Structure 1
Amino acid sequence: MATVNAAVLREFGGALQVEQIELDPPGRGEIVVQIEAAGVCHSDLHYLQGDLQCPLPVVPGHEGAGRVVQLGEGVSGDIAVGDRVALLWRPNCGRCANCVAGKPIMCEFGPVQARSGGLLDGTTRMSVDGERVHHLLGVSCFSERVVVPERSVVRVPDDIPAAVAAIAGCAVITGFGVVRNVIGACLGEPLVVLGAGGVGLAAVMGAKLAGANPLIVIDVDEAKLQLAAELGATITIDVRDGDIVEQVLSHVPDGVLWAIEAIGRPETLNSAFRMLKPGGTAVAVGLGRVGQTVDVPINELVQRQKRVIGSLYGSSIPQLDLPVIFELYRSGQLPLDRLIGDTYPLDRIDDAFAALKAGAVGRSIIDPSTIQGVP
């Protein structure tokens, strides 16, 4: 049993506390990963605030990358000690009906980890003075080391920076993936992205590569809109300048074919629906509070044949999509470094979340190996 530093949440709405936790050895089919970088995501914030529920106490963090330092029994041999890996918060067993049908993001084991606060068998590998501590989505990367299923990692080439690998495993694969896997070819088609956070900006990069035109980005933050323009947006719209549907229709009077909602708010998803042209599709990507709903006018849905669909994790196959993302980054076609903001030591994690709530541009990164910047 190893002792490591980790950020622990003990009550919703409370502060994260850095504690020393005991990490059990890996079980069958599991590995231990030394975390090199962990992204600060809005979904983590939802859990911290209690908008999304998980068992407590818990070590949050679901967007991370690191190096394999130990293997449990029964590991397949595809992963070795020393390999660099990106962590996945939706593992896939490869055997259930959804996995066999080519929809591994809907694997039956994903909800098991989310509900139980454990790994694939529903049990945890962390404790403090005999008290079990839960995993968040089977990852919990706000920790120096984690135990995860082998099925929850994808190998990362050595020349990919740790922070890039971390955000690729969540924000990037979600935003880029929704264009690659849901929208597909959209050359010359009008497309809107609502929200210029990490996921939204990754969608902008994907839509630019796919040839969407005009490519419209909506946000309330001027700096984020400027970055969106630098990454490929042809039109940017500031929410503070008036009704966003009217603003979009002033540029594209017939409406847009695709609208990606990357915020998770009922009002913005409703706006996404209203700005569609006949036959258009609004793709909901952002998560909201448990129980939130959105109003959709039935007659407009039917008579104009509009659609509202959801996409989890970019509807991706991570083992196929992440290598593509890494290669596009290498070639300069996905400038993912532009998405990365400040790096914080583990014991300043609350500062990182405060920056997120304040609208910081760029994905904040936690380095769990440092305390106040001292290794």
Structure 2
Amino acid sequence: MASKQMRAAQIIEFNKPYQLCERPVPLCGGQDLLVQIYAAGYCHSDLQVLHGQFAANLPLIPSHEPAGKIVQVGARVKGSWKVGDRVGVLNFKNACRDCVGCRQNLRRTGQTDPRFCRERKTAGFKHDGAFAEFMLADPATTVHLPEKVSFEQGAPLMCAGATVWGALHKLKPEVKPGETVAIVGIGGLGQLGIQFAKAIGYRTVAIDNRLEGRQLAMDVSEHLKPDLVIDSAAADAHDKILDFTSGEGLAGVVVCTDSVQANAWSLQQLGNGGVMVPVGLPKDRWQFDSEAMVFRELTIRGVYVASTEGVEEMLKLVAEHNISSHISTLDFNKIPSIVERYTDKSMKGRLVVRISH
């Protein structure tokens, strides 16, 4: 298949529209999976890549949210992978096993974790990603996509889902089921976060200063709707949180926006011993109230994305509870205009490109 050509979209120059092109189908190595991409998501990180925030070498095929089918299995691939398997592909791959990050994880857990390998490849960030008909996947960071989950729904779970799922698990062990957790910023990540939090067993508060975000919070299955929806710009927002939590404040909060102001505000909503997990990457530094952190013994905990095992667990929950994203789909030939669509104020949820049919 290496001599064949495939459709792709690529970044030729930062801050310029994506260009459609033809590229050779990647050669499947002995330890690779070759995946035909059926759907690929677009998120805020893709926009940051386009703006040059991650200093990638160009040209680059963007998108790090792929879902598709395996079409070739490398000769030395271990496990039960086979042609025809429905899969999602995480963006970190090919751990070197020799760097400091790999050695640390080998010592702590007995295995490598490509998320923290200093030599890892990051598809869609610094290496070719999913806006193409085919891509190479690392079996160690490829996950099984349940039959109940469509390719279009599966694609956003590879980043948006994996990120907010990992963030919710960072609230543990301090925050336990039955306690009150807020999701701040209800877009693609936040809408999934609400559903995950409810499925886990948290009392859930959805918070957004935009009407579109608050509406999106309620655009989920009845059993996964938040227990309370709050406009953070309202004068009584803080009082509503205190009233809902019997004066205690939130036990945990996951912030799904890179707004420095929103993150600072969110910290103030925590009660004693509360845990905050910010998942946005602002250009400027976060600014948190040191007095609140010290005198209430608050924790701010970093998160990357969930591990491969964590994402497999997430996908089982998604299938069990019929968790879904509000998605808008685009055909492949519309990729050059995707930024205009993504930045439109009426846009809500996730954008997903249909690659193959």
* TM-score using structure 1 length: 0.82
Amino acid at match of 2:333: D
Q: What residue is the counterpart of 1:97 in the other structure?
A: 103
Amino acid at match of 1:353: V
Equivalent of 1:297, from 268, 289, 313?
289
348 and 61 in structure 1: CA distance in 2 versus 1, 3 angstrom threshold:
same
Following the alignment from structure 2 to structure 1, what is the Cα–Cα distance between the partners of residues 47 and 177?
35
Q: Is the 8 A contact 2:184 2:254 kept in 1?
A: yes
Is 1:237 aligned to 2:230, yes or no?
yes
323 and 150 in structure 1: CA distance in 2 versus 1, 3 angstrom threshold:
closer
Following the alignment from structure 1 to structure 2, what is the Cα–Cα distance between the partners of residues 282 and 322?
21
Q: What residue is the counterpart of 2:329 in the other structure?
A: 343
348 and 323 in structure 1: CA distance in 2 versus 1, 3 angstrom threshold:
same
105 and 296 in structure 1: CA distance in 2 versus 1, 3 angstrom threshold:
farther
Q: What residue is the counterpart of 2:338 in the other structure?
A: 352
Following the alignment from structure 2 to structure 1, what is the Cα–Cα distance between the partners of residues 326 and 351?
6
Deviation of the 1:92 alpha carbon: 6.5
Identity over aligned pairs, percent:
25
Is 1:363 aligned to 2:350, yes or no?
yes
Following the alignment from structure 1 to structure 2, what is the Cα–Cα distance between the partners of residues 250 and 257?
14
Q: What residue is the counterpart of 1:274 in the other structure?
A: 268
Give deviations 1:11-52, integer Å, cap 9, x for gaps.
Answer: 221101111112341233112111011111111111112344
Q: What residue is the counterpart of 1:71 in the other structure?
A: 73
> Superposition pairs for residues 198-209 of structure 1, below 5 Å?
198-209=188-199
Q: Is the 8 A contact 2:67 2:155 kept in 1?
A: yes
Following the alignment from structure 2 to structure 1, what is the Cα–Cα distance between the partners of residues 114 and 269?
29
Give deviations 1:91-145, integer Å, cap 9, x for gaps.
Answer: 374953354334966644365324xx7xxxxxxxxxxxxxxxxx53556001111
Following the alignment from structure 2 to structure 1, what is the Cα–Cα distance between the partners of residues 338 and 237?
30
> Superposition pairs for residues 119-130 of structure 1, below 5 Å?
none
17 and 43 in structure 1: CA distance in 2 versus 1, 3 angstrom threshold:
same
Following the alignment from structure 1 to structure 2, what is the Cα–Cα distance between the partners of residues 30 and 48?
27
Amino acid at match of 2:176: C
Superposition RMSD on alpha carbons, in Å? 2.7
- SS of structure 1 residue aligned to 2:15: coil
Q: What residue is the counterpart of 1:193 in the other structure?
A: 183
Equivalent of 1:222, from 211, 214, 220?
211
Q: What residue is the counterpart of 1:317 in the other structure?
A: 307
Deviation of the 1:257 alpha carbon: 1.5
- SS of structure 2 residue aligned to 1:191: strand
Amino acid at match of 1:323: E
Deviation of the 1:155 alpha carbon: 2.3
Bigger mean CA offset, 102-111 vs 160-169: 102-111
Following the alignment from structure 2 to structure 1, what is the Cα–Cα distance between the partners of residues 31 and 114?
20
Bigger mean CA offset, 249-258 vs 23-32: 249-258
Amino acid at match of 1:142: F
- SS of structure 1 residue aligned to 2:191: helix
Q: Is the 8 A contact 2:28 2:74 kept in 1?
A: yes
Q: Say how many residue pairs are matched.
A: 342
Q: Is the 8 A contact 1:244 1:271 kept in 2?
A: no
Following the alignment from structure 1 to structure 2, what is the Cα–Cα distance between the partners of residues 330 and 285?
24
Runs of 5+ consecutive residues of structure 2 not aligned to the other structure: none
Equivalent of 1:212, from 202, 207, 224?
202
* TM-score using structure 2 length: 0.85
Bigger mean CA offset, 48-57 vs 139-148: 48-57
Q: Is the 8 A contact 2:39 2:355 kept in 1?
A: yes
Following the alignment from structure 1 to structure 2, what is the Cα–Cα distance between the partners of residues 181 and 281?
9
Q: Is the 8 A contact 1:38 1:142 kept in 2?
A: yes
Following the alignment from structure 2 to structure 1, what is the Cα–Cα distance between the partners of residues 58 and 127?
14
- SS of structure 2 residue aligned to 1:282: strand
Q: What residue is the counterpart of 1:87 in the other structure?
A: 89
